[in-house]
Amino acid sequence: MKVAKRRIGDKEVFPFTIPSGIITTEVSVLERIAWSVPEIGILTTKSIGPEPRAGNREPILAEYAPHCFVNAVGLTNPGAEEFARRLKSINIPREKFLLVSIFGKDAKEFASVAEVLRPYADGFELNLSCPHAKGYGMQLGQDPVLVKEIVEEVKKVCNKPVFAKLTPNTNNIADIARAAMNGGAYGLTAINTVGPGAFVFDGHYVLTNKVGGLSGRGITPVGIKCVKEIADALGDVPIIGCGGIYTAQDVVSYAKAGASFFGVGSALAGMNVDDMPAYFQNLANDVSAGTNIAEILLKTVDMKYKKFKVGEKISSAQDFHVLKMAEPLEASPGQFVFAWIPGKGEKPFSVMDTHPLTIGFLERGCFTKELAKLSKGDELYFRGPYGNTVSTSRHLVLVGGGSGIAGIYLFAKQNRAQIFVGAKDIAHVPCLDDLENMGDLHVATEDGSAGYKGFVSDLMRENLKVGDCFINCGPRPMLDAVLPIELPYRMRIYSSLDRMTRCGVGICGSCADDEGRRTCKEGPFMPQ
């Protein structure tokens, strides 16, 4: 078998894509992948609905066995109008095929979303298969009559190729495929995740939604079976085969079953932006040459939870707390962990210290309020660490603002540095006595209750000495204020901005910055 460009609509593209909802969920990542991975000819977006949708609370993803995942994102999306604005802001190669995934509760909603996004899409993928969102996806896609109606309505508002994404959770996938083609579909995507299924750890449902779709290695045979049933019934129709594709042998098996394009998703877990181009290049070469080099490039991720007990709680302010566990956790400066309270949710936190594991946090939402209720002896779970550390240097400058001070604490503990911290008052500067013993400390508080009265950026202008490595952690206004002070030094500058980080292993893509770099894989401290 030879990997070569194939026709889709009016374009000739290479036959790989990343399925909807994986990695390329932010347009910045979509754009980055478009330019850096030639073998990905079809750019598939996250599923977009008529209105913004927050989706499910974390945890949204769990690994129930090696390379096997269960997820319940909940169709998180910004809505059609906002997504159209975002698509308008990016630039992708003309030879790529932009396949916009859409959903709705009925044919009318599907058509309305397609109409809004039509100017930016080369084609549409209709999500008729999400297994865990009530009233959407699979609940529509199991009925051939509804599937045909939805395809017909979308075709009325656009003359672009339409792919119906089918669910494996049915006994008549060939009948549903035929209904989609009779409605005017250009092709089919098979399959979406299997299920829903559940993953229980230590007696607790891991996903906040309790159940979710299964993906990864465990569903490869299901995907191949579904593609073959469709191809046997309908003959030569364009099929994007998805589900557990990891190696060249998987691609060949899908091709022999009848697939013409191939979606690679869960296999990319743990890969950074430099890993993916090499993986896809080797995957394509393996298919053509009969080799198996791409398998060596697969990553092993660790999403296992460990139980911890709170050893000490320090509340320096009514809304700011430091939790010291009774147990240690090995981590490097700059890395982060996820704290999980079953039934309440999960959020990432900087590793403030390792012996014992320590986190510092500001009460801001439902989960941190639950976390703040814990006291000595209470149990919770952690997974990680995730992210990368930063190679420090002799003249290190650390800058922390607000809860971001926790993010530079371990750097300060392990490196003698010039330290600048800023907070609204002394109560919001965690472990101040410890920081004073770790380096050349400068404190700014907005109310003047400690150190300099004002902002940390003003304090830096007056007191910054030589620096050849700057590490910043704090809110956007602070980063915007300190970067102009640091840039004239023309040295290494790394900044960590608090972003929505939901999986930690690179799959969900929600933590991407404007350059398509993900906090969990390329960060959290990004070169500036």
Which SS3 state, helix, strand or coil, does residue 495 take?
strand
* Residue 204 located in a structural domain: no
Phi, psi of 99 (to 5 degrees): -100, 110
Question: CA separation (Å) from 409 to 332, 383, 420, 432?
Answer: 11, 20, 11, 10
Under the banding of pLDDT at 50, 70 and 90, the label for residue 130 is confident
Q: Identify the domain boundary among 331, 355, 386.
A: 386
At residue 140 the predicted structure's pLDDT band, cuts being 50, 70 and 90, is confident
Express as a percent the part of the chain with pLDDT over 70. 99
Let me know whether 157 and 17 are in one domain: yes
Q: Are residues 345 and 464 in the same domain?
A: no
Specify whether 479 is located in the same domain as 410. yes
One domain, residues 152 and 268:
yes
Residues labelled as active-site residues? 130
Are 120 and 147 found together in one domain? yes
In the predicted structure, residue 498 carries a pLDDT above the cut 90: no
CB 416: neighbour CB atoms within 10 A?
Answer: 13
For residue 312, being part of any structural domain is answered with yes
Beta strands, E only, 45-91:
61-65, 68-71
Regarding whether 159 and 264 lie in a shared domain, the answer is yes
Do 169 and 234 lie in one domain? The reply is yes
Instruction: Please give the model's pTM, rounded to 2 decimal places.
Output: 0.96
- The reply to whether 523 falls in a domain is no
Residue 461: which H helix or E strand, with range?
helix 456-463
Reported confidence tier of residue 137, pLDDT bands at 50, 70, 90: low
Q: What percent of the chain is predicted at pLDDT more than 90?
A: 94
Same domain, 376 and 442: no
Domain that holds residue 447: 396-497
Does 176 score more than 70 pLDDT? yes
Give pLDDT tens digits for 180-208: 999 999 999 999 999 899 999 999 999 99
pLDDT band at 138 (very low <50, low <70, confident <90, very high): low
pLDDT averaged over every residue in the chain: 95
Residue 513 forms part of a structural domain: no
Of 394, 400, 380, nearest to 326 (Cα)?
380
Residues 189, 42: Cα–Cα separation, whole Å: 12
Do 141 and 22 have their domain in common? yes
pLDDT at 133: 67
- Among residues 297, 320, 340, which one ends one of the domains? 297
Model confidence band, residue 129 (pLDDT cutoffs 50, 70, 90): confident
| pLDDT of res. 375 | 97
Write out pLDDT tens, residues 41-80. 999 999 999 999 999 999 999 999 999 999 999 999 999 9
CB of 134 closer than 8 Å to CB of 103: no
Q: Are residues 362 and 247 both part of a single domain? A: no
Q: In this structure, what CATH number is given to the domain that contains residue 376?
A: 2.40.30.10
Q: Is the domain of 276 the same as that of 321?
A: no
pLDDT in tens, 10-34: 999 999 999 999 999 999 999 999 9
The whole-angstrom separation of Cα 464 and Cα 454 is 16
Query: Count of domains in the chain?
Result: 3
- For 212-262, the pLDDT digits (tens) are 999 999 999 999 999 999 999 999 999 999 999 999 999 999 999 999 999
Has residue 1 been placed in a domain?
no
Q: What CATH number does the domain containing 454 carry?
A: 3.40.50.80
The region of weakest confidence among 165-179, 211-225, 484-498 is 484-498
pLDDT at 41: 98
Rg of the chain over Cα atoms, rounded to whole angstroms, equals 25
Select from 386, 405, 438 the last residue of a domain. Answer: 386
Q: Does position 380 have pLDDT exceeding 70, yes or no? A: yes
Q: Does residue 62 lie within any of the structural domains?
A: no
* pLDDT tens digits, 419-436: 999 999 999 999 999 999
Distance between alpha carbon 360 and the CA centroid of its chain, in Å?
23
Residue type, 85: R
3-state class of 456 per DSSP? Answer: helix
The pLDDT value recorded for residue 275 is 97
290 and 311 both lie in a single domain: no
DSSP strand pairing (68-71 vs 211-216): antiparallel
Q: What is the mean pLDDT of residues 384-411?
A: 95
pLDDT band (50, 70, 90) for residue 131: low
- Written as one letter, the residue type at 456 is V
State CA 219 to chain mean position distance: 21
The residue to which tokens 């350059």 are assigned? 515
In a domain? residue 68 = no
In a domain, residue 104? The reply is yes
pLDDT of the residue at 491: 84
